[in-house]
């Protein structure tokens, strides 16, 4: 019983990481019906930005050897600023890789590849500048204990404090996002653009601005995710890649474009991974993709999405 | 001269195989399916060759060619069957969903090969016997494969099956209502692509000498996708050119880094920053050359020049096959 | 190492003060002697590769300062192998085409299996600086390595752990099962555990790309071991150890060779403290060349040199020493490239060398014969930011 509870906790912990990442993915998809593969790169940049803003130094192996900024901000402040920076990067990516293609009415698959090109370039620029080293954030939780024991005794059920933080943040963010989309005027605009871009434009909605906004939000989310996940472990220039692929499975499971779906999808996949029996641990990595395949074949709209009606 | 060619042998063979792999993605694309499954079949083909040559056929010294041919046949069969099953399962999926499903398929396949004893687990299989003494000689296998695949694809577009592909690509619903067997078209295209990738894998496994789960990777999917997208999505020459060129590009960049006049950071950039260039190229080509570099329009223009000056269209006696824009 | 002593002690004198005596004594001029360095400068393997590049560059500087190859300068050609086999093959091919006499590389054992066969076919001697898997020197007669096999080094850490805590009964082992090296290293660790009569309570697997190890850690903590052995790479291994400590594990931890790098320190921070790692190199080795090497390294970075840097340095040094010896026996200019490479190979295998790794030689298959190995324990500074590998024996 205790084991079950622990596994569930583990699953939720892993799952909130996926969920946090997937939120940014899903926002762009919900507006533009394209997968922004550069999200993984923005996620990584967010982590690097936050790191730089805390005044920490980079290693010796990139072009910018031992570089560090002359300021030393508190982690949470650095995170906020870093996330904003990542948001700006998201807008830049939109300009470069998405807008020209959208104006031409290109196939969304082309946008996918173009965003991938941006991702590859960005991540490798990070390596070129800062080297391939791992970085981590040190003791940012201050006096808070490293782990929390939920059920004591001989075989305690524990969870790391950082995981609690990540879970809390993803919950807060999903609520904030849902409120934004459903309760504000801007959100209404976003929903209109998501429904039909041309009609929205015809109705006088400034679609370009809204698209930029959604990329900005997506970038901010990615940046927060990057810094927090980097906090929980460590990060390097490639750590957005695996999460990026798993993130695809998460958003498909939850329903492409559905915001609460991203969180649900993340948690479900996290729990599924946690419950893989130890003998089959080797296959753990296949879980998100098997889930992805099953969902695509059985219920492509995902758990929370609406069934797509094919219009003739 | 032969020495020089020999020393560059690995690159040339990789380039030719790159062309083949580009075609393996192009074939399903002809029927409108963006399948990123090629690396999975490529890896599978390679494993067939690796397992057969290291565990089943016990051969000392140079590996006989007829055994390689056997491996090719076995790999084609296995990949064909698997592609059939995957193609069948993915019938209902289109566009991005299909792409995602094929990505997932490759990852699942990779994890399985990572964990099986037969495929060597994390280490993979190494010391795969070589049928040839020099790298360049692999062109005897890779070259005919590319030429055959290219010719096949070229002819395919002109015959009934190929036109069925085109119909499905343009508008599946319309094609179905016109009586085209869309199921058969899609599965056939998928299987052709899978088999071709598998064959390339067999040759590559011998050429590289070791093979492991890492050959089935998402990065490889993107590479092959780049071959087609940058090379040209509307004609069979596109993926071939894309495969040849993009496989060579990192090596060419590495060569350029040797120039003496370059400052240190620039040389360093060319040597190790080639992925940056790669990514930028990929994005730029999507934005500026969405149909790839080699398009039917370009080919028509070349043909016209070849015929000696421009002849206004419409005066062609034999109508050219329409590649609908 | 008779040749460098025969150079009138120049090696000993100038090697100690590389800048002071550069240019004094023997003139370094004439056609450069080319050696290829093919290690990973990009991809995440670059973390190891970059340490190796530094080692090679220091070797180039020091060896040229002591006269190069009897007056001819040593020039290193660097080619990036990237992280995969094809990249390694291409890099090897590039340096072979450029006419190098020998190659130091590649970084990973996996890459070695692919690229070394090329070098073997081309008749170019190779010294692996960090290939520790089984079977590498056996690839061919031109293939050797200066990195001792994992089966020799790994058990020492277990012995040291037992010395620190003789009451160890239960051991948990975790390894990165998608990494070829970790998969083979863990087999050695597990065999050692059983040989020592300890109880192998649990084996956990993870992937090198994992960042969250909660499942594995809770399983491990639940099996209540007194010793945990981790085989992985710096990022994943470091994270695993950190999360082990954060979730309350207080026993001993052994890190495999993949954690044998300062790159693990930023990952586990103060939780790195106490990790035992077997080492093939110690900065404290007391011979002139190691002193010079350590001095040059700390001048550049302010730190002690890590194992891979020392091993790459050794690889270059072995080639140069063998060339010096060969040149004395039959002048290098008299041989064509093919013969030169083949002779160099024989010269390498038949020599004894004083290197930062201590006194080493090679068996006929190319496997390194090294006398002393070490076990280090990571000691973190008070702030948890910096740390060192402190030798325990």
Question: b/e string for B195-225 if b means 16 or more Cβ within 10 A?
Answer: bbbbbbbbbbbbbbbbbbbbbbbbebbbbbb
DSSP B83-141: HHHHHHHTTT--HHHHHHHHHHHHHHHHHHHHH-TTTTTTT-B-----S-SSSGGGHHH
Local structure of A5: helix, strand or coil: helix
Question: Residue A311: what pLDDT?
Answer: 55
Across all residues in chain C, what is the average pLDDT?
85
Closest by Cβ to A63, choosing from B103, B107, B265: B265
CA distance C129 to C310: 9
Instruction: Tell how strand C374-380 and strand C143-145 pair up.
Output: unpaired
C-beta atoms of C211 and A232 within 8 A = yes
Q: Which of A14, A241, A285 sits opposite C207 (nearest CB)?
A: A285
Shortest alpha-carbon distance between residue C20 and chain A (Å):
26
Please give the pLDDT value at position C240: 94
Residues 123-162, chain C, touching B (beta carbon < 8 A):
133, 139
Q: In chain B, which residue ranges form alpha helices assigned H by DSSP? A: 2-7, 9-30, 38-51, 65-89, 95-115, 139-156, 160-170, 172-177, 182-208, 218-231, 237-256, 264-272, 274-288, 296-306
Kindly report the CATH number that applies to the domain delimited by C2-147+283-362.
Answer: 3.40.50.2300
> Of C50, C246, C268, which is closest to A61 when you measure between CB atoms?
C50
Which residues of chain C neighbour A163 with C-beta distances below 8 Å? Answer: 214
What is the structure's pLDDT at C22? 29
Interface of C with A (CB under 8 A): 42-47, 50, 177, 204-207, 209, 211-212, 214-216, 218-219, 221-222, 234-235, 238-239, 242-243, 245-248, 263-264, 266-270, 301, 384-385
- Residue A154 has a pLDDT of 65
**CA nearest to C343, candidates C359, C367, C327:** C327
What superfamily does domain C151-279+374-391 belong to in CATH?
Answer: Response regulator (3.40.50.2300)
Question: Could you give the count of Cα atoms lying within 13 Å of A52 in the half-sphere of its Cβ?
Answer: 19
Residue range(s) occupied by CATH 3.40.50.2300 in chain C: 2-147+283-362, 151-279+374-391
- Other beta carbons less than 10 A from residue A62's beta carbon: 21
Contact call for residues C81 and C95 (beta carbons, < 8 A): no
Listing DSSP states for A21-47 in one string gives: HHHHHHHHHHHHS---TTHHHHHHHHH
Q: Does residue A83 contact residue B252 with C-beta atoms inside 8 Å?
A: no
Is B259 touching C (CB cutoff 8 A)? no
pLDDT-derived band at C20, boundaries 50, 70, 90: very low
ipTM above 0.95, yes or no: no
B-chain residues within 8 Å CB-CB of C38? none
Q: How far apart are CA C74 and CA C59, in angstroms?
A: 10
Q: Has residue B119 been placed in a domain?
A: yes
Read off the pLDDT of residues B14-68 as tens digits, 9 standing for 90 and up.
Answer: 999 999 999 999 999 888 888 899 999 999 999 999 999 888 877 777 788 888 8
Minimal CA separation from C212 to chain A, in Å = 7
Confidence of residue C325 (pLDDT cuts 50, 70, 90): very high
Q: Measuring CA to CA, which residue among C309, C320, C287 is closest to residue C389? A: C309
Chain B residues inside the 8 Å CB shell of A107: 290
Q: Which of B108, B115, B276 sits opposite A124 (nearest CB)?
A: B276
pLDDT tens digits, residue range C29-88?
A: 458 899 999 999 877 788 788 889 999 999 999 999 998 888 899 999 998 898 888 889
CA gap A286, B108 in Å, rounded = 5
Task: Please state whether the peptide bond connecting residue C106 to the residue before it is cis, i.e. omega within 30 degrees of 0.
Answer: yes
Q: Which residues contact A116 (CB under 8 A, 6 or more apart)?
A: A37, A38, B222, B279, B282, B283
**C215 membership: H or E segment, kind and range:** helix C214-222
The answer to whether A132 touches C44, Cβ cutoff 8 Å, is: yes
User: Is B169 contained in some domain?
Assistant: yes
Listed in sequence order, the residues at least 6 apart from C280 whose beta carbon sits closer than 8 Å to its beta carbon are C147, C148, C153, C307, C311, C357, C370, C373, C374
| B202, two tokens | 């067999």
pLDDT for the residue numbered A60: 64
Contact B226 A113 (CB under 8 A): yes
For residue A190, give Cα distances in angstroms to A106, A194, B121, C142.
21, 6, 48, 65
- 10-residue mean pLDDT profile of chain A (312 residues): values are 82 86 86 86 92 78 73 84 94 89 78 86 87 77 71 73 85 88 86 83 87 92 89 83 83 82 88 81 82 83 68 55
Task: Give a yes or no: residue B27 inside a domain.
Answer: yes
Structure tokens at A26: 């899903």
Q: What is the pLDDT of residues B155-173, one digit of tens each?
A: 988 888 888 888 888 888 8
Are residues A117 and B97, on separate chains, in Cβ contact within 8 Å?
no
| B311 falls within a domain | no
Examine the pLDDT at C121 and tell me if it is beyond 90. Answer: no
Query: Do A282 and B114 count as a contact with CB atoms less than 8 A apart?
Result: yes
Residue A274: which of C209, C215, C263 has the nearest Cβ?
Answer: C215
The H or E element spanning position C312 is: helix C307-329
- Res C256: pLDDT: 92
Which two structure tokens, joined as six digits, stand for C166?
Answer: 């003789």
Of B141, B160, B152, nearest in space to B27 by CA: B152
Residue-wise pLDDT tens digits, C200-259: 999 998 888 787 888 888 889 888 999 999 999 888 999 999 999 988 899 999 999 888
Q: Which domains does chain A have, with CATH numbers?
A: 2-298 (1.10.3470)
Dump the DSSP string for A80-95. Answer: HHHHHHHHHHHHHHII
pLDDT tens across C285-296, in order?
A: 889 999 999 999
Domain count, chain B: 1
- The residue among B168, B165, B170 whose CA lies nearest residue B324 is B170
pLDDT at B323 over 50: no
- The answer to whether the CB atoms of C110 and B213 lie below 8 A apart is no
List the subunits that have 3+ CB pairs under 8 angstroms with C.
A, B
Q: Cα–Cα distance between C73 and A278 in angstroms, integer?
A: 57
- Among partner residues B95, B100, B279, which is closest to A252 by beta-carbon distance? B100
- Separation in Å, CA of B108 to nearest CA in chain A: 5
Contact in structure between C332 and C151 (CB atoms under 8 Å):
no
**pLDDT, mean of residues B280-308:** 82
Determine the Cα–Cα distance for residues A243 and A239; give it in Å rounded to an integer.
Answer: 7
C-alpha to C-alpha distance for B127 and B108, rounded to whole angstroms: 26
The phi and psi torsions of C365 (rounded to 5 degrees) equal -85, -10
The bridge status of strand C170-176 relative to strand C199-206 is: parallel
Q: Does C101 touch chain B (CB under 8 A)?
A: no
Structure tokens at B170: 């343009």
In a 13 Å sphere around the CA of B197, the CA atoms on its Cβ side amount to 34
Largest CA distance in chain A: 66
Report CB contact under 8 Å: A134, C245.
no
C324: left (phi over 0), alpha (psi -120 to 50) or beta: alpha
- In the predicted structure, residue B97 carries a pLDDT above the cut 70: yes
- CA neighbours within 13 Å on the CB side: how many for C178? 20
- Residue C344 scores a pLDDT above 90: yes
Note whether residue B225 is domain-resident.
no
Q: By C-alpha distance, which of A42, A11, A56 is closest to A224?
A: A42
Cα distance from C8 to chain B (closest Cα, Å)?
36
- Alpha-carbon distance of B121 to B112, in angstroms, equals 9
CB atoms within 10 A of CB A281: 20
**Distance from the Cα of residue A13 to its chain's centroid:** 15
Distance from CA of B120 to the nearest CA of A (A): 14
Q: Are B119 and B125 in contact (CB under 8 A)?
A: yes
pLDDT band at C106; cut points 50, 70, 90: very high
What residues have CB less than 8 Å from B303, skipping those under 6 apart? none
CB B291 within 8 A of CB B228: no
Contact yes or no for C85 and B251 at CB 8 A = no
- Say how far apart CA C113 and CA C133 lie, in whole Å: 10
Taking the CA of residue C52 and the nearest CA in chain A, the distance in Å comes to 12
Distance CA B287, CA B298 (A): 18
Q: Closest approach of chain C CAs to the CA of B298, in angstroms?
A: 33
Query: What domain range is B36 assigned to?
Result: 2-216
What are the chain B neighbours of C121 within 8 Å (beta carbons)?
A: 133
Q: CA of C155 to nearest chain A CA: how many angstroms apart?
A: 25
- Contact C110/B210, CB-based, under 8 Å? yes
Rounded Cα distance, C211 and C227, in Å: 22
| β-pair partners for C254 | C229, C276
């Amino acid at each position: 019983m205790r084991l079950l509870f622990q596994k569930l906790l583990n699953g939720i912990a892993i799952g909130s990481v996926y969920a946090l990442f997937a939120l940014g993915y899903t926002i762009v998809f919900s507006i533009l019906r394209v997968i922004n593969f550069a999200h993984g790169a923005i996620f990584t940049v967010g982590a690097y930005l936050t790191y730089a803003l805390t005044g920490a130094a980079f290693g010796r192996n990139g072009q910018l050897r031992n570089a560090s900024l002359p300021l030393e901000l508190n982690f949470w402040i650095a995170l906020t600023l870093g996330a904003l920076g990542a948001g700006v990067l998201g807008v830049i990516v939109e300009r470069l890789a998405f807008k020209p293609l959208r104006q031409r009415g290109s196939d969304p698959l082309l946008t996918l590849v173009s965003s991938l090109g941006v991702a590859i370039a960005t991540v490798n620029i990070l390596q070129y500048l800062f080297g391939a080293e791992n970085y981590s954030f040190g003791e940012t939780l201050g006096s808070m204990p490293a782990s929390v024991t939920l059920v004591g005794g001989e075989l305690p059920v524990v969870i790391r404090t950082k995981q609690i933080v990540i879970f809390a943040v993803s919950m807060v963010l999903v609520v904030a996002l849902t409120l934004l989309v459903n309760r504000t005027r801007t959100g209404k605009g976003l929903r209109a653009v998501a429904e039909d871009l041309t009609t929205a434009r015809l109705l006088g909605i400034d679609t370009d601005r809204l698209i930029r906004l959604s990329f900005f939000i997506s970038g901010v989310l990615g940046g927060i995710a990057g810094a927090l996940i980097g906090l929980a472990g460590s990060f390097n220039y490639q750590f957005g890649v695996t999460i990026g692929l798993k993130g695809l499975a998460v958003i498909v499971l939850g329903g492409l474009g559905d915001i609460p779906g991203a969180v649900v999808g993340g948690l479900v996949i996290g729990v599924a991974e946690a419950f893989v029996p130890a003998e089959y641990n080797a296959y753990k990595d296949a879980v998100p993709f098997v889930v992805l395949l099953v969902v695509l074949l059985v219920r492509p709209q995902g758990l929370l999405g609406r069934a797509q009606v094919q219009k003739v | 001269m032969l020495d020089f060619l020999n020393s560059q042998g690995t690159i040339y063979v990789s380039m030719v195989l790159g062309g083949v792999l580009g075609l393996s993605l192009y074939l399903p694309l002809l029927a409108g399916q963006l399948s990123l499954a090629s690396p999975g079949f490529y890896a599978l083909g390679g494993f067939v060759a690796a397992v057969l040559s290291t565990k089943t056929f016990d051969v000392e010294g140079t590996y006989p060619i007829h055994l390689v041919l056997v491996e090719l046949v076995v790999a084609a069969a296995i990949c064909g069957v698997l592609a059939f099953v995957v193609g069948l399962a993915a019938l209902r999926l289109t566009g991005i969903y299909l792409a995602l499903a094929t990505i997932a398929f490759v990852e699942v396949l990779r994890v399985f090969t990572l964990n099986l004893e037969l495929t060597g687990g994390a280490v993979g299989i190494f010391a795969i016997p070589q049928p040839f003494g020099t790298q360049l000689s692999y062109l005897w296998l890779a070259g005919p494969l590319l030429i055959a695949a290219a010719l096949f694809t070229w002819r395919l577009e002109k015959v009934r099956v190929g036109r069925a592909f085109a119909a499905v690509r343009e508008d599946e619903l319309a094609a179905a209502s016109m009586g085209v067997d869309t199921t058969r078209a899609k599965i056939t295209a998928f299987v052709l692509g899978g088999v071709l990738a598998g064959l390339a894998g067999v040759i590559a496994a011998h050429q590289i000498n070791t093979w492991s789960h890492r050959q089935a990777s998402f990065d490889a999917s993107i590479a092959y996708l780049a071959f087609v997208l940058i090379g040209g999505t509307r004609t069979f020459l596109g993926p071939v050119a894309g495969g040849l060129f993009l496989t060579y590009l990192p090596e060419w960049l590495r060569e350029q880094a040797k120039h003496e006049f370059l400052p240190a950071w620039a040389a360093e950039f060319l040597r190790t920053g080639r992925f940056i260039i790669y990514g930028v190229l990929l994005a730029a080509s999507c934005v500026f050359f969405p149909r790839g570099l080699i398009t039917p329009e370009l080919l028509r223009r070349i043909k016209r020049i070849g015929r000696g000056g421009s002849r206004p269209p419409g005066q062609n006696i034999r109508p050219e096959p329409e590649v609908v824009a | 190492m008779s040749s460098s002593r025969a150079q009138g002690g120049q090696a000993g004198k100038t090697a100690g003060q590389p800048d002071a005596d550069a240019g004094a004594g023997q003139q370094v001029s004439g056609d450069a002697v080319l050696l290829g360095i093919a290690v990973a400068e990009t991809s995440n393997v670059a973390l190891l590769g970059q340490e190796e590049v530094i080692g090679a560059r220091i070797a180039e500087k020091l060896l040229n300062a002591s006269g190069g190859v009897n007056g001819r300068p040593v020039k290193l050609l660097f080619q990036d192998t990237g992280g995969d086999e094809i990249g390694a093959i291409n890099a090897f091919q590039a340096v072979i085409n450029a006419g190098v006499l020998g190659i130091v590389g590649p970084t990973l054992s996996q890459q070695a299996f692919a690229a070394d066969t090329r070098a073997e076919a081309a008749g170019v001697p190779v010294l692996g600086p960090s290939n520790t898997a089984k079977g590498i020197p056996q690839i061919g007669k031109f293939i050797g390595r200066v990195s001792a096999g994992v089966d020799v080094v790994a058990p020492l850490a277990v012995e040291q752990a037992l010395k620190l805590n003789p009451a160890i009964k239960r051991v948990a082992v975790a390894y990165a099962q998608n990494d070829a090296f970790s998969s083979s290293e863990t087999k050695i660790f597990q065999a050692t555990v059983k040989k020592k009569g300890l109880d192998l309570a649990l084996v956990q697997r993870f992937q090198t790309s994992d960042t969250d190890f909660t499942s594995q850690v809770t399983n491990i903590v639940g099996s209540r071991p007194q010793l945990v052995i981790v085989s992985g790479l710096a990022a994943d291994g470091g994270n695993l150890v950190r999360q082990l400590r954060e979730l309350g594990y207080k026993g001993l931890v052994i890190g495999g060779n993949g954690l044998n790098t300062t790159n693990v320190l930023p990952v586990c921070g103060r939780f790195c403290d106490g990790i035992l790692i077997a080492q093939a190199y110690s900065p404290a080795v007391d011979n002139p060349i190691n002193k010079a090497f350590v001095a040059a390294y700390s001048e550049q970075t302010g730190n002690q040199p890590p194992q891979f840097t020392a091993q790459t340095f050794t690889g270059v040094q072995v080639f140069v020493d063998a060339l010096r010896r060969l040149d004395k026996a039959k002048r290098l200019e008299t041989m064509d490239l093919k013969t030169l490479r083949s002779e160099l190979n024989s010269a390498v295998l038949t020599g004894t060398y004083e290197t930062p790794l201590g006194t080493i030689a090679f068996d006929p298959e190319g496997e390194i014969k090294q006398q002393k190995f070490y076990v280090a324990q990571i000691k973190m500074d008070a702030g948890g930011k910096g740390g060192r590998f402190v030798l325990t024996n």
